[in-house]
Amino acid sequence: MITVVIIIMQLYPFPKPEIIANNPNDLIKSADVPENVATMLRLACYDCHSNETQYPWYSNIAPVKWWVYDHIVKGREDLNFSDWNSLSKSDKAEFLDGISTEVSDGDMPLKPYPLTHPDAKLSDADRETIAGWAEEYMEKLYE
């Protein structure tokens, strides 16, 4: 009986967020992001906050895929690094402030994410680096 339920769950349609490889308005492509920060952002943030999501194998299996896809959709709605250059200066500043705060406080990436993506685990030094970069970039916006 459980096998039948699991098979039926796989058939339930749930739209997979699209992957777009060419993003000319992307933060890393359009801004002067230090390589070390770019690497950390790609590993810890880009799966949920860009159009360049790297889907792991388990993201195609229900019910996990419903949870993963929902997080990606919400993450992109909250902040999509692929659309960075289309944001106003004030929106960029607001996002940078949020990045600094949420990364410093340990709220991002979400707690379960590094459990399945070990490269996304940020050390305290990594968090300080990202927060410092975000604050510096925010200041440069108004120079």
Alpha helical stretches, state H, the chain: 2-11, 27-30, 35-44, 46-49, 64-78, 89-104, 113-116, 124-141
The ranges assigned to domains in the chain are 2-141
Residues 88-142 have pLDDT tens digits of 999 999 999 999 999 999 999 999 999 999 999 999 999 999 999 999 999 999 8
Please report the pLDDT score of residue 123 as a whole number. Answer: 97
pLDDT of 7-36, one tens digit each? Answer: 777 777 778 999 999 999 999 999 999 999
CA triplet 5, 71, 98: central angle to 5 degrees?
165
pTM value is 0.90
* Residue-wise burial string across 60-84, b where 16 or more C-beta atoms lie within 10 A, e elsewhere: eeeeebeebbebbeebbeebbbbeb
What angle, rounded to 10 degrees, do the helices at 124-141 and 35-44 form?
110
Widest distance between CA atoms in the chain? 65
